[in-house]
Structure 1
Amino acid sequence: MNNYFSSDFKLGILGGGQLGKMMLYETRKYDIATSVIDPNPEAPAKLAANYFEVGDIQDYETVLKFGRAVDLLTFEIESVNVEALQQLEKEGKKVYPSSQTLLQIQDKAVQKQFYKAEHLPTANFDVFTSKAELTEAILRKEISFPFVWKACKGGYDGKGVSVIKKQEDLISLPEIACIREDLVPFKNELAVIVARNVSGEIKTYPVVEMEFHPTANQVEYVLSPARISAEVAQKARMVAMRVSEAFRHVGLLAVELFQTEDDEILINEVAPRPHNSGHFSIEASYTNQFEQHLRAILNLPLGETKQKLGAVMVNLVGDADYTGNVYYQHIEEIMKMPGVTPHIYGKRETRPFRKMGHVSIIHEDLNEARKVAEHVKTKIKVISKSK
């Protein structure tokens, strides 16, 4: 086994956003040296990295040069140059999750076709190369309303996803490759974080339940463990593990799921990295998701995934009416509440619905934690003093 701790070993991270920043809490804990690259000179991860570089992580040469200077490469965002990762792997560089895993996930059409080929449960779908092709299929009555439209590439945080109920809803859609998906009647949106190390050791975190903002299509609350039966929870964890095994992924895989009206579990989509639905683990789990990602990619023993207490996570997003230098109004009020921990991501500029931080609420009683979360949500406001 390599000596990663207090040594010359260098871990490279593509992307220096809040996920990179939170990963660096753990590299600091273990004294693992890091190099981080991000296009933003003020990226949140800048302060905690041993070495920070400003660069375009979608540029082939930039990623190649950066990757050659480290011992192992990981990423905190999917939109990176996969061809550069493939070349680095050819040169013998360790890249986890692998370029192959990323290729199968980056494009939602490829991802959905992968589930179909692997006989993994997911909603019915069709792939279209353009909006024009989709519109033609509707005119030929091959497709009926309502359905879910998803951009094949580049969607995140609710962007690139729309529910299409009528012809007029198509007007605002961009002219890009997309998928049409059945609108699934579901009881719950669930997620499971799966960790898998290089040797194939695999563990899952408890199933979480996600409550979404009605207009922004962003997660508002994550409750862990989900308020579902033991049977449904077991089924969700089994599906998530099957997905992980099929992708042969290394690191963390966040598997977003639907629990249908008749308790079937369908895969919505996945992310091959630490994820918003795993933030509860920082306060509530024996091993948080960021440490677990490091353990997995470094082929160390995976940590315990059990929870100490019930947890609810609230996303802090920019108020719809404000843009400018961020100000967290009433943050002192929520900090007085027992079991409440705010996490501030380090973005100086707030914009409507931009993810600026999150708040964890832990309590022996999950329903009590949910009530406190509601209180936190109404109390703290992410605004700007220079409106």
Structure 2
Amino acid sequence: MIFDYPTLKLIWWLLVGVLLIGFAIMDGHDMGVGTLLPFVGRNDEERRVIINTVGPHWDGNQVWFITGGGAIFAAWPLVYATAFSGFYWAMLAVLWALFFRPVGFDYRSKIHHAGWRRTWDWGLFVGGAVPPLIFGVAFGNLLQGVPFHFDANLVPYYTGSFFGLLNPFALLTGVVGSAMLTFHGAIYLAHRTEGEIQRRALRAALIFGVLMLAGFSAAGLWLAYGDFGYVLVTAPDPAALPNPLTKSAVHAAGAWLANYGRQPATLALPALAYAGGLAALALAARRRTLAAFVASALALTGVIGTAGVSMFPFVLPSSTVPGASLTVWDAVSSQRTLSIMFWATLIFMPLIIAYTGWAYRVMAGKVTAAYIREHEHSAY
């Protein structure tokens, strides 16, 4: 093994972040397009154009979501088990919403009936709009701390309620999550379409881009002046086997901003969120849609990276027993597991990126109403 245990723990914190960002960029623009579908498309033909911009890619992009969930399960088993205890109904809501995507894409155009197609259009809307909202709410609860603790056998106990997750700050971060993926999807849609659909997509990009930046700013101010944050009093040994009960931590208002003072270079992440968002808006206004898409991807990277860096080394803080909080150092799998996963990731992630890039290159170009009419039986 080339890397020691503490280094592998840090590497996997970074890799999980990369997978979450990859999911937001790749599957996120599919979900954003689904969210906009009933509103940007004014008739059946326009909606078929919109669906065909993401139809060939959406299932491949969902690999990022599956891989991210699998990586959390394998690299951070305690986080996975504890989070699903607390967010069980929320995760089920995500799963139920995602059910509409495969059947919506496959069944929507099978029957030439207006009511049938409208139903699946709204199903695709649910599959695109609900997951980002819930993921944003989940991040808001992570930043506040989740009410859980462990017994002596490390069995997690969640002491909150489902409706307790729907607090004002979490709803704000839910808006940020929803807005940033809808913004990203609107720019992608503008890049793949033309005419009136493109104009509507650009208007949607302006609305949701401004909403994302405003919500991100409001959440940052709330973190700065609100009663949020945790600090380690006695840190776990980074080289020790994972045991979250070997440390102590306390709640400390404003602690989530401390990392930026200790490591000023991390300020590049919130700066990237603003710079990428503003650049995407400016480029989209000039109809430089490919560059705008890259800029919005950088904005998403900045937003998600800001949340991760703010909480480091915490991954899942406990609001009821802060000492039971899960951190980068004490929520992980064994050194052998992390090492095997690292080499597997090193081999397969470049292959996934290369294949995805090839697929987008092959199916690049505008999707038009003429294309839909010419491919009536093969298009979505």
TM-score of the superposed pair, with normalisation by structure 1:
0.26
**Which has a greater percent of helix?**
2
TM-score of the superposed pair, with normalisation by structure 2:
0.26
**Which has a greater percent of strand?**
1
